[in-house]
Chains A and B, each alone.
Chain A
Amino acid sequence: AQSVTQLDSHVSVSEGTPVLLRCNYSSSYSPSLFWYVQHPNKGLQLLLKYTSAATLVKGINGFEAEFKKSETSFHLTKPSAHMSDAAEYFCVVSATGGYNKLIFGAGTRLAVHP
């Protein structure tokens, strides 16, 4: 069965410093992996996706993630945090290798301080 583990429930950074949100996955086959962001009172938005092409995936708003099969990780990074990045971030794996059934991690709440 597929699953994801987000290693930090809360991450706090200062504006302008790097962001690292950690995610490990478990999958019996080559997975499709995603990061979604959820701002308060807004719908979930897709940040980026990995579907067995390039291992370094670039997403929206300057975020990127690297798929590391040897470490079963898919960490999300951004070189410089902005106040608007404060939100809940979810690492997600697709149960079928496609988009049909998404399995979400518990989420990481990112706080950005001035």
Chain B
Amino acid sequence: GAGVSQTPSNKVTEKGKYVELRCDPISGHTALYWYRQSLGQGPEFLIYFQGTGAADDSGLPNDRFFAVRPEGSVSTLKIQRTERGDSAVYLCASSLTGGENEQFFGPGTRLTVL
């Protein structure tokens, strides 16, 4: 079956611009996670959705970052006024429910802020 997909695979933008990154989870998975992986580091948790609601957004670095999941399926990570330090690979994962279920990761979106 189809795995987690993310679009675009690469995004290049200029400092100060607004970007949206999309995640399509595995069909039927109610839990969705966003992580950020900077160069040479492990992924860092950003936000966790259970259904339509953000159950844990403690990893969002500041108020320029926002994520939505309006229908409990597709999620969009939104970054306002991008900065060069936002350059990273943004990973999305989904699991059947929250709790003790394996997270399946997408291939990521590589964001480059010039």
Cβ of A31 within 8 Å of any chain B Cβ, yes or no, is no
A43 touches B100 (CB 8 A): no
Asked if B101 and A99 make an inter-chain contact with CB atoms under 8 angstroms apart, the answer reads yes
Q: Which of A18-51 contact B (CB under 8 A)?
A: 32, 41-46, 49, 51
Q: Is A98 part of the binding interface, using a Cβ–Cβ cutoff of 8 Å?
A: yes
Question: What chain B residues lie within 8 Å of A44 (beta carbons)?
Answer: 43, 91, 93, 105
Q: How many A-B residue pairs have CB under 8 A?
A: 63
User: When the two chains form their complex, are residues B106 and A98 in contact, meaning their CB atoms are under 8 A apart?
Assistant: no
Residues of A41-78 at the interface with B, using a CB-CB cut-off of 8 Å, are 41-46, 49, 51
Q: A100-B56, A102-B45, A103-B45 are in contact. Are A43 and B108 (CB under 8 A)?
A: yes
Report, as a range, how many residues of chain A touch the other chain.
Answer: 20 to 34
Cβ contacts under 8 Å, A99 to chain B: 95, 98-103
Residue B28, interface by CB 8 Å: no
Interface status of A113 (Cβ within 8 A of chain B): no
Q: Do residues A106 and B102 form an inter-chain contact, with CB atoms below 8 A?
A: no
The 8 Å CB contact of B42, one of A43, A51, A90, A101, is A90
B48 touches A101 (CB 8 A): yes
Could you tell me the distance between the alpha carbons of A42 and B102 in the complex, rounded to whole angstroms? 17
Return the contact of A107 from the options B42, B58, B91, B99 (Cβ within 8 A).
Answer: B42
Given contacts A43-B108, A44-B91, A100 and B48 within 8 Å (CB-CB): yes
Contact of A43 with B107 in the complex, beta carbons under 8 Å: yes
A101 to B, closest residue via Cβ? B45
Smallest distance from the beta carbon of A97 to chain B beta carbons, Å?
9
| CB <8 Å contact, B106 and A43 | yes
Is B20 part of the contact surface with A, judged by Cβ < 8 Å? no
Contacts of A103 in B (CB 8 A): 45
Query: Min CB distance, B110 to chain A, in Å?
Result: 10
> Chain A's nearest CB lies how many Å from the CB of B58?
8
Known: A42-B107, A44-B91, A100-B48. A107 touches B41 (CB 8 A): yes
Nearest-neighbour CB distance to chain A for B46, whole angstroms, equals 10
Bound Cα distance A73, B4 (Å): 31
- 5 nearest CB pairs, A to B: A104-B42, A44-B105, A43-B105, A98-B99, A43-B107
